Amino acid sequence: MTDSIIGAAPEGMPDPNLTPPQIARVGDPFASVRVVHFLARVKRNTTHQLRDVVATLNATYLDWYFPEKMVLAELVQLQANWAISFHGEDRIVLDRNERGHTLLIVDSTKMTPFLVGQATRLRDEAEEELRRFSLGDGVTTDN
């Protein structure tokens, strides 16, 4: 950054643009958009152990930690949004077996557009939060 009050960084100075680790929280659009983006790529018509899904999600975003409870809450919200949009077609199926929670995303012509729409809405929410943060001198809904 060039500005009248600062000069160039000294030679050998490390890049300060590091991304701090994040712990995903329920209701955080930044975390939710990552979960939905990931779920849109999960193999459909196959029952997955939720803990395996969460482990793969965490391996995909190494600077984030997604607790299983947060992912489960996001899945329940997606189920509700699907039910509202498509009136009872059960396509995001949560269940349990002896190893814990399971997830089945049933493939249909409506699933991909639905997930894209959900991710777009969440991205818009995240951008709005960034805008409010920028205009409010760092004030967020967390303050």
Question: DSSP of 5-67, one letter per residue?
Answer: TB-PPPTTPPP--PPPPEE--TT-HHHHHHHHHHHTTSPSSSEEEHHHHHHHHHHH-TTEE--
| Predicted local distance difference test score (pLDDT) of residue 18 | 84
Tell me if 99 is assigned to some domain. yes
Tell me if 76 is assigned to some domain. yes
| Predicted local distance difference test score (pLDDT) of residue 27 | 94
| Predicted local distance difference test score (pLDDT) of residue 109 | 94
CB of 50 closer than 8 Å to CB of 103: yes
CATH number, domain containing residue 120: 1.10.10
- Please tell me the total count of domains within the chain: 1
User: Measured at the alpha carbon of residue 8, what is the angle toward residues 3 and 14, in degrees to the nearest 5?
Assistant: 120
- Note the Cα 89 to chain centre separation in Å: 24
3 state SS of 109: coil
The set of residues, in sequence order, having a beta carbon less than 8 Å from that of 21 and lying 6+ positions away, is 63, 64, 65
Tell me if 143 is assigned to some domain. no
Tell me if 1 is assigned to some domain. no
State pTM to two decimals.
0.84
Domain containing residue 70: 22-127
Task: Tell me the mean pLDDT per 10 residues along the chain, length 143.
Answer: 76 90 95 98 97 98 96 97 87 96 96 97 96 77 58
